[in-house]
Chain A
Amino acid sequence: MMSRPSTDARPPAWAESVLRLLLPPRNRDSVSGDLLEEYRDVVLPSRGVLRAKLWYVRQLVSFVTVTSVGRASIDWMKEDVMFERLWRVTLVCSLLVAAVLLTRFLFDVIDPVDPVERFLAQVRDDYSEFNYPRRWVPAVAVGAILIGGGLFAAWRTSRIAMGTMAAAIASAAGSVIYVTLVVLVNILSAPSPDPLSDVPAGLRYFGNVPTMLVPVLAMLGILLGTIGGLFGRAIHVIRTAQSHG
């Protein structure tokens, strides 16, 4: 039996939001209105709530194209205040992380440490090199940047997830910048080619490039960004309570 169309029933809110995001501004109201009308008039009475919601999601999927996703991303970046804040924090933190890593790299270039010697020293339980500030200051600085970035992002957006995202992206982007520059330095500073080797001279130095740094720092960014995000969210809640009290 067909029941009377309801004007209260709604498709999933998230699906409506995504649909509106995917549509060009001139069609947002008209197309979402058409689908809402079909949902209430025909689909919901004939299929029931669950299947009607699935129907709506299927319609949403049909709007997902490269163009619509691209446009939605650009619109979101332009219009979303949260993204604007997240973007700025992430950019600053990325550059700071890259700057710290590059500073450390420059110190290593000026005063190189033989990795074999370092390894052998650690085997002998000799960690004296960690007494040198250049060994631990960069690590502390990167940690502080990631926690600070996570804190700031979560504070400004009131979402812990934004803190995690800001720090994770910043750590990954910062380390990618660093690794890219180290690769360039390796290529540009490579000695003359070894006639006995088939490998181009610059590429032999890729073994020195810390590519694993990118995923390791990204994981660290997630962890520290979440910690910072928890503090940022707490600050947001406290300040909001103070302003209302």
Chain B
Amino acid sequence: MADVLGAFEQAVLLCLVRPVTALGKEAYGRGILTEVRHRLGREVAAGAVYATLDRLEQKGLISSELEAGTAVRAGRPRRCYAIAPAGVRALNDAKAASERLYAGMRWPLRSPR
């Protein structure tokens, strides 16, 4: 099994698997940023999301390609992302690792007496 993904990496990858927001369905940086904020339920720094996208792409878990820009973005291209098969496997591994970690625990957890 490769390195287990961090929580933030999982959140970003999950946005590409099943986006919930309308903008998130357009899998470019801005849409992913909106989706990650929605999914985590808090404000997220843009720099953190783009750094994570770069890292995931370097690991081969996602791929990207440029698409033409629109007037509202001054014609600057959009970089659209797609999850790679390795990314799906990494998410499955992360979920399995998390389940192993919590195996045998009664939910919700209580403080030991």
Contacts and interface: CB of A to CB of B under 8 A. Distances in A.
A99 interface: no
B112 to A, nearest CB: 39
Interface stretch (B6-14, B42-50, B94-102, B103-111): B42-50
Contacts, number: 65
| Most A C-beta atoms less than 10 A away, residue of B45, B51, B73 | B73
B85 interface: no
B25 interface: no
Interface string B3-32: 000000000000000000000000011100
A interface, how many residues as a size bin?
20 to 34
A59 B71 CA distance: 21
Nearest to B30: A34
B72 interface: yes
Contact of A59 (B47, B54, B69): B47
B72 A34 contact: no
B45 A27 contact: no
A33 B78 CA distance: 7
A34 B73 contact: yes
A93 B66 CA distance: 46
A123 B47 CA distance: 64
B33 interface: yes
Contact of A31 (B50, B69, B71, B74): B50
A22 to B, nearest CB: 9
B51 A33 contact: no
A82 to B, nearest CB: 25
A35 B74 contact: no
A150 B104 CA distance: 73
| Most B C-beta atoms less than 10 A away, residue of A29, A36, A64 | A29
B72 A65 contact: no
A36 B73 contact: yes
B14 to A, nearest CB: 20
Nearest to B43: A58
A221 to B, nearest CB: 36
Contacts of B78: 30, 33-34
Interface of B: 28-30, 33, 45-48, 50-51, 54, 66, 69-74, 76-79
Interface of A: 5, 7, 24, 27, 29-38, 40-41, 59, 61-65
